Structure 1
């Protein structure tokens, strides 16, 4: 069993880390400022809620002090949902109806000194309200993620999933307390401490999202999708990928668009850069050639050039990266003798 002093140190360090990350996010100059703000408020809400738990474990708290922790919980859910909306839809602007979801927080914050915090009433407010309120927004947020993933899985989806998993675990902990399951009260803050360190590591090492990269672009979501369909048409109907010298600039000229717009369209809709997008088509062509019985004796160099690759080396590297197999191994595994 961990000593009280060690528990206090672990929980307190996590709280300070959460608060410092909150400050870092709201003062961060780069990236999408709205996303940074929403994420910082999620962290602030969790930090306030867990901070109340840590203090309440060691010292008696007044009713209003306990209620501050609950008010922190009431901002987590809405901003978790807002974050997902803006993360996946760059051009989306939240309306006044969205911000009405913050009404429970403001009402509770205004009345927190008048709301009793004792006995069964405390149990209802302290856990029941938190569990029910956060559960609604977790369901909506997971639905937002699943709907996005069913279209095009992306780095943003993975990042949002990690956030949802962490908040879901915290929600499960409070659900257990609400249902009177036997657990140590302080384990929630300790878990949060480890969670916030993991989150900090993931955040600082995350890859920049295309959302942030094209924040100031004039090409909106619909325009980006329309352009992407034109790109696909050129590749699928005219086999543009078979030209070994195809480049972003030549493709842009064919479409009468700027290179930046074409690059953005591919990034946002295929979750790939230009070279990866071209190679995807070339590799699919190579796969078809490799299993063609009429060409099973063809040299790999011939397959490479007929697929649009300029060199055999580039072909081998791209094919192995995509399939995990060399072209010859792929052929042996898939061709009928």
Structure 2
């Protein structure tokens, strides 16, 4: 297979993956429907633009066809910005005046047959204006992050930041190519394919699926931190995690909050779910008991039960996941003689 065929195959796979991801987001009922819609539109806009890049290398496209591809950039910018608002600020209302942000895209598509695109000076000016439009929304999106950094939850902020950076890098590639800094035109399509596979991988992880899980929550960032401090204090002072019947509901009752808010606080501040958070404390306790001279003759299963684990299997799995050693190996290596 020739080099050109490999590049074409990789680019096309990225485009297909992006179309699949867009369609998936349009039909996704988890999290914020509005956020899913705008993210799908942003990815679709980039896909239209990148698809044009691929076709333009291997086919002789008409000016109106190139304009349709260029129009995707006008869809991406406002969609990315509104996605940030829906995700980070839980903006529920999309006002009729907000449609004006998509007017450049609508007009560009409508008049694509008459807009010049023939490598003349006017065409270059239009090209720069279109990408300047995207640059404005990239800056606005970064502004969302900076202006609301004290209120934005960490996971949401990191996810949106990465999306904006990815979009900005695509913008830089095409502007760099226009300025003559990059001669490999289809490189933008390859880079886009890489980004899409990275984003798709994240969406296959629970992290991305849970981004909008707490969008309707009234628990703000500062209250979330205070709740987390109360939980850690409760675990430290009373060691309630040693109870193998401990549940999210029982702990939330002790702290006088709803299980949902407690789960949210753990997820946002520790990037763990409740079970993992409890297991990490139990493992830390087990590490201290395994090297305690008073426990030298105790069996591993006794240590497991004393630390709150219900069976030896779950103990071994949790312990090795955290320490990279089995309990027996840890005792031999660090146990006091």
Normalized against structure 1, the TM-score is what? 0.70
Structure 1: 5+ residue runs without aligned partners?
none
- Kept after mapping to 2: 8 A contact 1:127/1:174: no
Q: What is the CA-CA distance between 1:140 and the residue it aligns to?
A: 5.5
Corresponding residue for residue 235 of structure 2 = 235
Give the direction of change, closer, same or farther, for the CA distance of 1:247–1:59 in structure 2 (3 Å limit).
same
* Cα distance in 2 for residues equivalent to 1:153 and 1:334: 36
Give the direction of change, closer, same or farther, for the CA distance of 1:175–1:328 in structure 2 (3 Å limit).
farther
* Cα distance in 2 for residues equivalent to 1:314 and 1:16: 41
Q: What is the CA-CA distance between 1:174 and the residue it aligns to?
A: 1.3
- Kept after mapping to 1: 8 A contact 2:31/2:210: no
How much is the aligned-residue C-alpha RMSD, in angstroms?
A: 4.6
1:173-231 Cα deviation digits (max 9, x unpaired): 314312313534344345545765x368537734363344455x655335655544432
Give the direction of change, closer, same or farther, for the CA distance of 1:289–1:49 in structure 2 (3 Å limit).
same
1:223-275 Cα deviation digits (max 9, x unpaired): 65554443233212322223333223322332344444433443344332222
Q: What is the CA-CA distance between 1:43 and the residue it aligns to?
A: 1.5
SS in 1 for 2:185: coil
Structure 2: 5+ residue runs without aligned partners?
none
Aligned residues: 325
Determine whether 1:93 maps to 2:94: no
Q: What is the CA-CA distance between 1:40 and the residue it aligns to?
A: 0.9
* Cα distance in 2 for residues equivalent to 1:51 and 1:331: 58
Corresponding residue for residue 103 of structure 2 = 106
SS in 1 for 2:234: helix
1:5-35 Cα deviation digits (max 9, x unpaired): 8877776675565445434422334442122
- Kept after mapping to 1: 8 A contact 2:138/2:168: no
* Cα distance in 1 for residues equivalent to 2:268 and 2:229: 12
Give the direction of change, closer, same or farther, for the CA distance of 1:14–1:275 in structure 2 (3 Å limit).
closer
* Cα distance in 1 for residues equivalent to 2:7 and 2:304: 61
* Cα distance in 2 for residues equivalent to 1:127 and 1:55: 21
Normalized against structure 2, the TM-score is what? 0.70
- Kept after mapping to 2: 8 A contact 1:38/1:82: yes
Corresponding residue for residue 275 of structure 2 = 275
Corresponding residue for residue 61 of structure 1 = 62
Give the direction of change, closer, same or farther, for the CA distance of 1:127–1:188 in structure 2 (3 Å limit).
farther
1:95-116 Cα deviation digits (max 9, x unpaired): 889x97974x634754785865
SS in 1 for 2:177: helix
Corresponding residue for residue 205 of structure 1 = 204
Q: What is the CA-CA distance between 1:279 and the residue it aligns to?
A: 1.4
Q: What is the CA-CA distance between 1:59 and the residue it aligns to?
A: 2.8
Give the direction of change, closer, same or farther, for the CA distance of 1:200–1:280 in structure 2 (3 Å limit).
closer
SS in 2 for 1:246: coil
* Cα distance in 2 for residues equivalent to 1:25 and 1:322: 34
* Cα distance in 1 for residues equivalent to 2:134 and 2:212: 30
Corresponding residue for residue 26 of structure 1 = 26
Corresponding residue for residue 220 of structure 2 = 221
Q: How does 1:248-267 map to 2 (within 5 A)?
A: 248-267=248-267
SS in 2 for 1:233: helix
- Kept after mapping to 1: 8 A contact 2:73/2:130: no
